[in-house]
């Protein structure tokens, strides 16, 4: 599996219902120094995400236009468009996402994530 496919798979894994309701799996994928700037404007650290994410209602999301940019030998910036179905309406809600992934040994961990809502019209 090439690097882009590996990082896409990790992003999709974090968006999956099975992962989002599993605090141990979330903890394994997020670095201890993880920080997130949410699309809502909130800021979260690893402990907050591990505690709160399993409590959130699940929304199916898809990824498009993924791009990977190396920041160093073992650190990569991943950017993509995220699409969430807006239940009850015939439209999708979109956001621009960016993540920084770091590889330590054979383990990948997300260090940073940001979501920015995209207005739909």
Give CA–CA dist 101/82, Å, rounded: 17
Residues of the chain with pLDDT > 70, as a percent, come to: 93
Q: What are the structure tokens assigned to 91, written together? A: 């439209």
Return the pLDDT at 80: 97
DSSP at 54: G
Question: Alpha carbon of 1 to those of 6, 26, 37, 50: distances in Å?
Answer: 6, 22, 29, 28
Q: Does the pLDDT at position 121 exceed 80? A: no
Give CA–CA dist 31/34, Å, rounded: 5
Which residues on adjacent β-strands are paired with residue 61? 84
Q: Where are the alpha helices (DSSP H) in the chain?
A: 3-15, 17-20, 23-29, 46-52
Task: State pTM to two decimals.
Answer: 0.90
Q: What are the structure tokens assigned to 16, written together? A: 């999956």
Q: What is the pLDDT of residues 43-101, one digit of tens each?
A: 999 999 999 999 988 889 999 999 999 999 999 999 999 998 765 555 567 889 999 99
Domains of the chain (ranges, CATH numbers): 3-118 (3.10.450.50)
* 68 alpha-carbon distance from chain centroid: 14
């Amino acid at each position: 599996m090439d690097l882009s496919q590996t990082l896409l798979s990790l992003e999709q894994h974090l968006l999956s219902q099975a992962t989002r309701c599993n605090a141990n799996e979330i903890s394994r994928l997020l670095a201890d120094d993880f920080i997130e700037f949410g699309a809502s404007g909130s800021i979260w650290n690893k402990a907050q995400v591990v505690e709160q994410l399993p409590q959130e209602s699940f929304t199916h999301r898809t990824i498009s236009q993924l791009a990977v940019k190396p920041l160093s030998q073992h650190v990569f910036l991943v950017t993509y468009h995220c699409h969430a179905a807006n239940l009850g309406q015939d439209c999708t809600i979109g956001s621009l996402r960016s993540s920084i992934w770091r590889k330590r040994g054979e383990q990948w961990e997300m260090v940073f994530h940001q979501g920015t809502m995209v207005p739909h019209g």
